[in-house]
């Protein structure tokens, strides 16, 4: 089912994001995690696409499996790094032919070791170009795009970033999913500014339960996100106690999600890192009134 159509009957959606398993052991763990999530009846699940298309074959195989074998409503991530127009057309046709109705269209990060993004001369420079191409060629997908409540690190200002985001929506994006964040004030300030900038589509908050102190630097580097001082202090205090660190991050995520939903957020997109225990615990800890979509 197209995600944009789900919005017509659901004021909130709950979704979970995976990446393709890299080996047999990871595949077993992944299978266990998918089994845990099946009982939650998510609105949709999504599968990431490696830098420069490095996991394309595994991504496409996994979205086919989740959609057509497991029966989960599945969204395929797709980036245009290094891709030509012809390759994108071929890939979109493939996804269409296997019954995928939802895509998350992204520019993608520069390849490892490269500090800047360089577009293929026969490809796309921006995510908005990719979105426009897919929309113009009428593949019929429900299209999602990325957003960062604390702006993209390559943008000079929030004003510039919001202008770029509006272009994505005008190009054909039906909804946005945010990068991970830990400070709800940043999300709600972003929503207010987005609406003022004529960005009207649904903006779903992306949440990841922090489960260890060592993740903090990784998430700062990954999403340029900020952390509430209390969370930082508590995680640092328990950095050598795995269970207490896990519970500290879990408690913050539960509080964060409850506050988001209480103040009108249109659901939650959980970044699972293929380890669904924390995401499942957060979801099941939410008041039942919020979990009724």
pLDDT per 10-residue tile (average), the chain, 293 residues: 96 92 69 79 90 72 92 94 89 96 88 61 85 97 96 88 96 97 96 97 96 87 84 93 94 96 97 85 87 66
Find, among 35, 60, 37, the residue nearest to 50 by Cα: 60
Which pLDDT score is estimated for 51?
58
Which pLDDT score is estimated for 28?
63
- Bridge partners of 269, per DSSP, are 15, 206
- Bridge partners of 271, per DSSP, are 17
CB atoms within 10 A of CB 293: 15
Fold of 3-291: TIM Barrel (3.20.20)
Q: Which two tokens stand for residue 145?
A: 């795009």
* 17 catalytically annotated: yes
Contact 278, 246 (CB under 8 A): yes
pTM above 0.85, yes or no: yes
Which pLDDT score is estimated for 219?
84
Return the sign of the alpha-carbon dihedral for residues 246, 225, 220, 26: positive
Burial string for 220-259 (b: 16+ CB within 10 Å, else e) reads eeebebebeeebeebbeebeeeeeebbebbbebbbebbee
Find, among 256, 266, 261, the residue nearest to 209 by Cα: 256
Which pLDDT score is estimated for 276?
74
Contact 270, 279 (CB under 8 A): yes
Distance CA 76, CA 46 (A): 6
- Bridge partners of 106, per DSSP, are 79
Among residues 17, 57, 159, 281, which one is catalytic? 17
End-to-end CA distance of the chain: 16
């Amino acid at each position: 089912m197209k995600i944009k159509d789900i919005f017509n009957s659901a004021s909130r959606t709950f979704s979970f994001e995976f990446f393709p398993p890299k080996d047999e052991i990871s595949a077993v763990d992944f299978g266990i995690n998918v089994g845990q999530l099946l009982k939650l009846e998510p609105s949709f699940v999504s599968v990431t696409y490696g830098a420069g298309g490095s996991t394309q074959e595994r991504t496409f195989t996994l979205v086919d499996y989740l959609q057509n074998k497991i029966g989960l409503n599945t969204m395929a991530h797709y980036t245009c790094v290094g891709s030509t127009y012809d390759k994108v057309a071929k890939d979109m046709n493939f996804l269409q032919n296997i019954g995928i109705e939802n895509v998350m269209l992204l520019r993608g990060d520069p390849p490892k070791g490269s500090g800047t993004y360089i577009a293929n001369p026969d490809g796309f420079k921006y995510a908005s170009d990719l979105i426009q191409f897919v929309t113009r060629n009428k593949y019929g997908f429900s299209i999602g795009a990325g957003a960062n409540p604390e702006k993209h690190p390559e943008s000079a200002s929030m004003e510039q970033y919001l202008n770029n985001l509006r272009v994505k929506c005008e190009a054909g994006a039906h909804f946005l999913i945010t990068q991970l964040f830990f400070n709800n004030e940043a999300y709600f300030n972003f929503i207010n500014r987005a609406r003022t900038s004529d960005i009207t589509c649904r903006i779903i908050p992306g949440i990841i339960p922090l489960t260890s102190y060592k993740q903090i630097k990784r998430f700062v580097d990954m999403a340029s996100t900020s952390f509430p001082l209390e969370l930082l202090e508590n995680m640092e205090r328990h950095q050598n106690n795995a269970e207490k660190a896990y519970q500290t991050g879990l408690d913050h995520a539960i509080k964060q999600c409850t506050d988001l939903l209480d103040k009108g957020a249109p659901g939650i997109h959980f970044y699972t890192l293929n380890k669904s225990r924390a995401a499942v615990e957060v979801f099941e800890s939410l008041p039942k009134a919020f979990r009724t979509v």
